[in-house]
Every structure is written in C-alpha cells, then in structure tokens.
Amino acid sequence: MKFRNVSAVVLTVTAALGMAACSGSSSETSSGASAGSSFEFWSFTGIDAKGSAAEYKAKRPDVEIKLTEVGNAQETAQALTTALAGGKVPDLVLIQGDDLPKFVQQPQNFVDLRTLGADKIKGDYLDWVISQPTAKDGSIIGIPTDVGGMAIAYRADLFKKAGLPTDREEVAKLWPTWDAFIETGKKYTAATGKAFVDNAATSVYSQVVNQGEEKYYDPAGNLVYEQSPQVKAAFDQALKAVAAGITAKQSTFTEGWSAAMKKGDFAVIAAPVWMLGSIRDNAPDTKGEWDIATIPGGSGNWGGSFLAIPKGAKNPKAAWEYIAATQSPQGQLDHFAQARSLPATPSVYKDPKLTSAKDEFFSGASIGTIYTDSLLGLKPFLIGPDSTTIGTEFTNALTNVEQGKGDPAKAWDAAVTNIKAAIGG
C-alpha cells in the first residue's frame, strides 16, 4: 500500500427532510437504523477509506463520518495504542492484519462485536480470516474488510522487447517456482541490460514468506522464526535474486522506486491486490503496458485489514451500523467494484460482478479470478504480536545486502540478532 502524508477528511451531511418523511420518523431511517448519528473513524492511508465512507454516505445521508487518515498502517496502530492508554479513542478504527494480534491480546480494550451482532455474520467470512480478530475468550474485536491475494505484475511491452512471452498464461508458465522466476530474470537482464524486478526484499522475500503454512509463529503461538524452514527458504531465495543481479535495488514506495517504475527501469513487481493502486498512481502513463500473471507457487495471501470499535467509543452503534453495511458480502463486493479491494467473503467469489471484472490498466486482466484463485486451498499461518517487527528486520537485512552494505553470508545472523534486540527474545 502506498504511504502518504497524514491528512484529515470530514464527511458531513444534514438529514434530508425527504428521508424523514419516507421513514415516518425524525429519529429512525427506513432501514430501522438510528438517524442523525455521527462517529469518528481512524484509518490508515492508501486504502481508499474516503471512498468507502462516501459510498456509505450516499446510502445514509443522515450520518456524519469524521474520517482521519492517521498515517501508514503502523503509525495508525501506534496512535491507537496511545489512545487506548489514556487518550481520546475514535468510535471506529482500521487495523492492518499484521498489527492486529497485539490488540487481540487485550480484548478488554475493545467492544466485543458479538454484543452488536457479529456472532450472526461471522460465517460470512473466510474461516482463517475471521479467526484472526477472535480472542481466546471468544470475543470478536474486529470484522475483516479485505484479503491480500497475490500475483505478479509485469510489463508486457518490455517482455516483448526482451524476446519473452507476453500472454499472461504463457508468462505464468515461465515461473512455476521461484527458482524459475530468477532464471527468467536472468534471461531478461541478459537480453536488455536492465533490471528484471524492483527489489529482492519485497518482491521475492515478502511474497515467498507469505505462501507457507508457518511463518514467524507456530500454530500454538510460539516464536519459531529462527528455526522456520519457510522463513529461511524465503530469505535465501531473496539472496539468490540479489546474487543473480536481476534487481533494480529500488525499495518499495520510495521516490527512486516510483521514478524507476515510470521509466521502465524494471519489468516486474510483487502485486498483492492492494499494490495495483500504487502502480496506477506512480506510473499513470504506463496504462495498458502492464499485465498480471499467477505468482510462482500459485497461491498466497499478503495483507488484509479489520474494523474495530474501541471500548470507550462515544457512538459504538453508529460505528457498528457502518461495519455491518460496508463489510457485508454485498458491501465488500460493491467496494471491490469501486476500489479493487478483494472481498474476505467467499460467497461472492463466483458473482459475475467479481468474475467478470477486468482492469484495463493491466491489459484487461481478470483481476477478480486471478486474485481469488490465489486464495483457494490456502492454509494460512498464524500472525503474532511481533510479526511486523520481525518482518521488518528480515527485509532490512536483505536491503542492506542489495545495497552493498551487508555481507550475504552474515545477513541471516544479523537479522536474527536485530530481531532479538527489538522484541526481547
């Protein structure tokens, strides 16, 4: 997701007399929800919370939504932590999946959404997704907004110049495995003299590590990052990409990364579904030159967020009404049509609105099916309270090697040492 500067947006509207007349009451809408309500909503940047709020406001013009985009996902989680410790909490907050576990450990800080109706709708979501905001005592502190199916975005025009296939199905056949992906990169670089992929940390490590059944924690919640075959394999795969000389050494979301994307200095980028918007925003003139192919290994999930209501919220009912409307299967399907946020509600995966969705920026790729197919048969890993910190240290170590500041033979040990210092064990 693309990080932007902190901004605040306030969406307001006065209750329309026509609505009141249709409902027969000045205090209740035709849907039976309370009228004239308002709530404060904290989101992080880059996921079109403004658009989602506007969609809701179109249906509920009596509601005032005070939306603040706090910063990136980690900054929003930190602001929430501070608020829960004694500050003024919002009525509704968006929490990224990797930041969620530390809040699930303290369910007393949130409204148990079962008291508002979550127990009646939890079956709407992928089992492994709704399990993430469920605490040990059974309380549900959040409702899923999306999932992060994975794929690879590639420049078809640059592939053609390199003598490589351009059809997305043929491209996918080039890399059934990550070793084959690197070999394809070597062919591309040899033919063009240019980098194949933007960087190793994001486009290789962060994708490979999100494809396994175990990541930094085992199913019982024990830290296993140092012994995990999946993590070590992902780390080693990224080092192979660096050693092969196929990376542009451009860290994701930096100015250099954006400029290199515009110029075609690399042809491939990791493309979990939320990355598509960043590609459009950073390289708008490349419309129709990109396409999307299946990721090596075929499946995986990277990302997803949850809406929660902090304990102490002034307007929990209004916040819940927003959740129930926008995160229903139909609500998530509608938002996919607007913002390409992949639903966490499998009942819509065969809906024509999703299966027929094509993205002309990406050469008409069938993004609905490409990304939902990447979730089929997935056996997800447990995300723990320090997953974000652990992942950051591993990617930092890989970036240091890529930038010539780290020894590849010592990079793993350096990362593990930094992790232990950061999390205390």
Domains and CATH numbers, the chain: 7-148+303-348 (3.40.190.10), 152-300+378-423 (3.40.190.10)
When pLDDT is cut at 50, 70 and 90, the band that residue 380 belongs to is: confident
Average pLDDT over every residue of 229-243:
97
Nearest-CA neighbor of 187 among 156, 206, 165? Answer: 165
The whole-number pLDDT of residue 147 equals: 95
Identity (one letter) of the amino acid at 287?
K
When pLDDT is cut at 50, 70 and 90, the band that residue 36 belongs to is: low
pLDDT surpassing 50 at residue 329: yes
Q: Which phi-psi region, left, alpha or beta, contains residue 350 (left: φ > 0; alpha: ψ -120 to 50)?
A: alpha
On average, the pLDDT of the chain sits at 90
pLDDT surpassing 80 at residue 346: yes
pTM for this predicted structure = 0.86
Buried b / exposed e over 226-261, threshold 16 CB at 10 Å, is eebebbebbbebbbbbbebebbbbbbbbeeebbebb
When pLDDT is cut at 50, 70 and 90, the band that residue 425 belongs to is: low
pLDDT surpassing 50 at residue 31: no
pLDDT surpassing 60 at residue 15: no
Can you tell me the distance from the alpha carbon of 104 to that of 110, in angstroms, rounded to the nearest whole number?
A: 9
Can you tell me the distance from the alpha carbon of 325 to that of 298, in angstroms, rounded to the nearest whole number?
A: 33
Can you tell me the distance from the alpha carbon of 155 to that of 165, in angstroms, rounded to the nearest whole number?
A: 11
Contact 141, 112 (CB under 8 A): yes
The whole-number pLDDT of residue 343 equals: 96
Q: How many helices (H) and strands (E) does the chain have?
A: 20, 9
The encoded tokens of residue 360 equal 């002309």
Least confident of 155-159, 250-254, 408-412: 250-254
Q: What is the DSSP letter of 391?
A: H
Sign of CA dihedral 120, 126, 132, 135: positive
pLDDT digits (tens, 9 = 90+) for 68-111: 999 989 899 999 999 999 879 999 999 999 999 999 999 999 99
The whole-number pLDDT of residue 401 equals: 98
Contact 12, 57 (CB under 8 A): no
The whole-number pLDDT of residue 19 equals: 28
pLDDT surpassing 70 at residue 21: no
pLDDT surpassing 60 at residue 33: no
Q: What CA–CA distances, in Å, run from 113 to 98, 347, 396?
A: 20, 22, 37
Average pLDDT over every residue of 183-203:
98
The whole-number pLDDT of residue 212 equals: 85
Can you tell me the distance from the alpha carbon of 348 to that of 351, in angstroms, rounded to the nearest whole number?
A: 5
pLDDT surpassing 50 at residue 8: no
